[in-house]
Structure 1
Amino acid sequence: MKRALIITYYWPPAGGSGVQRWLKFVKYFRDFDIEPIVYTVKNANYPISDESLLKEIPKDIEILKQPIWEPNNLFSLGKKKSKQSAGFLNNKPSLFGKILQYVRANYFIPDARKFWINPSVSFLKKYLKNNQIDILITTGPPHSVHLIGLKLKEELNLKWIADFRDPWVDIDYFHHLPLTKKSLKKHQYLERNVVKNADAVMVVGNTMKENYLKFNKNIVTITNGFDDDIAMEKVTLDTKFSITHIGLMNSDRNPVLFWRVLKEIGDEKPQFLNDLNVNLIGKIDKEILNSIFENELTKKVNVINYVPHNKIGNYQKTSQILLLVVNNVPSAKGIITGKIFEYLKAKRPILVIAPNKGDLANIIKDTNAGFVIDYEDKELLKSTILALYTSYKKGNLYIDSKNIEQYHRKELTKNVATLIKNITK
């Protein structure tokens, strides 16, 4: 049995999307003769906590923990504990906020978890003197975790896989950072150095793969997926024409055209508004709430701040339509939100607002799971919503999806195990 040491910042009780990928791989590794050892933080300041995920951890695996000092704690002195991720950078900061953003962007490279790097390297070098492993795996963001892997690779010549759940300089919020040219070059150098020196690089989409192939030929796409942990009992569909979005919705993910189209249809068809019910589950930026208000839809939108991961299945299964919005940013074609795979499991029509030639669009087309509308295609968006509404009124709104089992977490773990065994022959 191969022994894999996984270094991850996000681990239960962390909630949200960042924790899911490696929690699930760890869950299924032993089915493919991989013994996982997890190294994570002891006192993390997670934006979201979800105690229900603790039940997903195999009971007898070895979990190593070391404390971390996070400067974010200093930045938030005197404030309520933030529930915002990096994707919720304030796009209208105060002068003091601008200073803090500048300091964060240019003095904490690659990120504010950089102070965990050297203590982790020291701790793990001591651990590895007495404990044999076959492969080291780092997963980011935060991408400072990859620098732990890079140092251990250089000093101990370990086999190493760097897993990118999101890209580094192409991550959706990167263009918002007030970076100097020197800082940007440092980010680019560090990213390139990690990709070049890893024995293999795992990515979640083909656009990221294509971008990294110029630095390393062993780039493997292994997407995120769905599991059996979300209850999907037989349920009755909502009586309302419900449209549900699950997950963070920051200002870059504000579907302005969507709100306008809903209002326009409602103005033309009053019964549409009577039937409409929009659910937004997750952290919502104020800009989205303002757009909803401006389009007179406040009474038609239900905002739920957070639902534990094991409880969201019924929201997905009972909704008439599942809404997915990709951040309207320069790197949009390469964004694949983890939520899409759980949407696939629910087998409800998926309405996606995203580039129609991106990685996410390819998944929707391959699985016949829904409809992809580009950000500014008002005519197609309106006609698609009207067609879905007509089907709803007739009582035959459904989707005949296919090819979704390839995205089951166990099948994906099999692919990771194959990669590990190929590297460690």
Structure 2
Amino acid sequence: MKKVLMIAHQFPPIGGSGVQRTVKFVKYLRNFDYEPVILTRDASKAALKDETLLKDIPQGMQVIRTNACDFAALPGLLKYFGKVINKFLIPDSERVWQHFARKQAFAAIKDNKIDVIYTTSAPYSDHLLGVYLKKHYPHIPLVCDFRDEWTNNPYHVRKGLRAKIERNQEKMVLKYADCLITNTPVMLSNFLRDNPETKGKFFVIPNGYDDEDFVGMEDIVPSNDKFTLTYTGLLYGKRKPDNFFGALKRAIDEGNVDKSKINVKLIGNYKVEQLQAVIDNYNLNGVVSLMPYMKHKECLAELIKSDALLLIEPSGPGAEAFYTGKVFEYMNTKRPILASIPEHGAAAQLITDTKTGLVSDFNDIETTKKNLIELYNCWTDGTNPVNPVVDEVKKFERKELTKALAEVLNNSFKK
């Protein structure tokens, strides 16, 4: 069995969507003749934790936890100073962690006779650590996995000198990696457009869902006295609920949706006062409810008990490349998806191909309203508005995706 050093700054018990991809690879890689050795950070002071995700780490697997180097976790008023420091670190706040984790990384390679190195971003400092190791061990293949784009990421726009530095860092990673992985075909096209010399290095492995996470939920049937529409995940930057709220308010004001018969749940780690102010502004008190971040299994149960699921992803340059991790778990619930997303993007194509929901462009409030009304009417009539293509959905099961990763790791030895 080959040994793979997996450098993943975000790893359980840290919670959130960013850890799912890596921990599921870790869970199933032994099935494909790879033994992971994970290099990550100490999570004792992490802001978002989900201890239940630790169950996905197979027994006896080595997890090396280094000092976190998290300036934002400094005590008292020092944390504000730490946040200022983080803003000046390039490419991200984990640059210091990447530097001090080198010693443990060298030891891991030597002690475990590592055959291949895998890095995952964000943070992009994971890849810089991978390149540093590659320069010292040129015979060990390096595989870099981009969960999100880097310099082309619409959520993190770089300008001036910082943009130039990060572009050079990205170019260096693309040069030294033996194989590269992206999350979506659109993301792949973007990378190849800007870096044609990398053709032949890139592979696409999307996010997915784990069948085992849904065990025990197969027979749950929604029985809500209100049409219950649920959103899970972050709301930040351009990813705002305002356009959906506008569509919802129109549907209520026009009499197409009974305000007393609809409940929208937003589940996540939110700035509650700011989000509540937006809800108040749209006069949606009593309709939209805010729920705190939940452990993964609990969150899935909330999805299964819902009548429909809300997906929000803003339009704009670069946004069409995103699937968002939650869409795959959404699809596996067999509940209809109300998607307010880039209409020509990767996620829209996925939902259309799998027939798992209704899509409108993020900025198209009127079509979002019509889709909402259609789902609401189906609920009142007791009919199912979607007929998922099960075979297409199954392509995104985590075991299948881990098999694809193992094939990329195998391919890296041929470079």
**Amino acid of the structure 2 residue aligned with 1:77:** G
CA contact (8 A) 2:313 2:362 kept: no
1 CA distance for matches of 2:364 and 2:173? 39
Question: How far has the Cα of 1:128 moved from its partner?
Answer: 2.4
Q: Deviations over 1:378-406 (max 9, x none)?
A: 33222212222221111113421111000
Asked if 1:255 corresponds to 2:241, the answer is yes
**What does residue 326 of structure 1 align with?**
313
Question: How far has the Cα of 1:239 moved from its partner?
Answer: 2.8
**What does residue 269 of structure 1 align with?**
255
The one of 183, 187, 198 equivalent to 2:177 is 198
CA contact (8 A) 2:69 2:97 kept: yes
Matches within 5 A, 1:123-134: 123-134=104-115
Q: Secondary structure at the match of 2:145?
A: strand
Asked if 1:386 corresponds to 2:385, the answer is no
2 CA distance for matches of 1:163 and 1:7? 10
**Amino acid of the structure 1 residue aligned with 2:96:** F
Question: How far has the Cα of 1:376 moved from its partner?
Answer: 2.4
**What does residue 241 of structure 1 align with?**
227
**Amino acid of the structure 1 residue aligned with 2:2:** K
The one of 112, 121, 146 equivalent to 2:127 is 146
Q: How many residues align?
A: 403
Q: Deviations over 1:231-286 (max 9, x none)?
A: 52312312311111011112422132221221122122276212111010102345
1 CA distance for matches of 2:243 and 2:190? 30
**What does residue 167 of structure 1 align with?**
149
Q: Secondary structure at the match of 1:127?
A: helix
2 CA distance for matches of 1:103 and 1:399? 49
The one of 373, 397, 412 equivalent to 2:384 is 397
Q: Secondary structure at the match of 2:290?
A: strand
Q: Secondary structure at the match of 1:10?
A: coil
Question: How far has the Cα of 1:160 moved from its partner?
Answer: 0.4
Matches within 5 A, 1:409-420: 409-420=398-409
CA contact (8 A) 2:143 2:412 kept: no
2 CA distance for matches of 1:415 and 1:180? 36
2 CA distance for matches of 1:351 and 1:252? 18
1 CA distance for matches of 2:371 and 2:94? 44
Question: How far has the Cα of 1:43 moved from its partner?
Answer: 4.6
**What does residue 85 of structure 1 align with?**
none
Which range is displaced more, 118-127 or 194-203?
Answer: 118-127
1 CA distance for matches of 2:401 and 2:178? 19
1 CA distance for matches of 2:363 and 2:29? 43
Asked if 1:220 corresponds to 2:203, the answer is yes
Question: How far has the Cα of 1:192 moved from its partner?
Answer: 1.5
Q: Secondary structure at the match of 1:363?
A: helix
Question: How far has the Cα of 1:343 moved from its partner?
Answer: 0.3
Which range is displaced more, 201-210 or 226-235?
Answer: 226-235
CA contact (8 A) 2:118 2:143 kept: yes
Q: Secondary structure at the match of 1:235?
A: coil
**Amino acid of the structure 2 residue aligned with 1:163:** D
Asked if 1:188 corresponds to 2:167, the answer is yes
Q: Deviations over 1:267-319 (max 9, x none)?
A: 22276212111010102345543222111111111211111101122211121
Question: How far has the Cα of 1:30 moved from its partner?
Answer: 1.0
1 CA distance for matches of 2:367 and 2:213? 35
**Amino acid of the structure 2 residue aligned with 1:334:** A
CA contact (8 A) 2:186 2:346 kept: yes
**Amino acid of the structure 1 residue aligned with 2:347:** L
**What does residue 287 of structure 2 align with?**
300
Question: How far has the Cα of 1:345 moved from its partner?
Answer: 0.8
Question: How far has the Cα of 1:230 moved from its partner?
Answer: 3.7
Q: Deviations over 1:58-84 (max 9, x none)?
A: 01112222213222234x7339x9xxx
Unaligned residue ranges in structure 2 (runs of 5+):
none
Matches within 5 A, 1:95-106: 104-105=86-87
CA contact (8 A) 1:233 1:314 kept: no
* TM-score, length-scaled by structure 2: 0.91
**What does residue 413 of structure 2 align with?**
424
Moved runs in structure 1, 4+ residues, more than 4 A? Answer: 99-103
**What does residue 92 of structure 1 align with?**
none
2 CA distance for matches of 1:124 and 1:397? 52
**Amino acid of the structure 2 residue aligned with 1:421:** N
1 CA distance for matches of 2:257 and 2:72? 49
Q: Secondary structure at the match of 2:258?
A: helix
Which range is displaced more, 40-49 or 257-266?
Answer: 40-49
**Amino acid of the structure 2 residue aligned with 1:190:** Q
The one of 274, 299, 304 equivalent to 1:312 is 299
Residues 415 and 180 of structure 1: CA distance in aligned 2, closer, same or farther (over 3 Å): closer
Question: How far has the Cα of 1:45 moved from its partner?
Answer: 4.0
CA contact (8 A) 1:255 1:353 kept: no
1 CA distance for matches of 2:250 and 2:43? 49
What CA RMSD, in Å, does the superposition of the two structures yield over aligned residues?
2.1
Q: Secondary structure at the match of 2:16?
A: coil
1 CA distance for matches of 2:186 and 2:305? 33
1 CA distance for matches of 2:240 and 2:407? 39
CA contact (8 A) 1:2 1:34 kept: yes
1 CA distance for matches of 2:82 and 2:322? 27
* TM-score, length-scaled by structure 1: 0.89
1 CA distance for matches of 2:257 and 2:205? 44
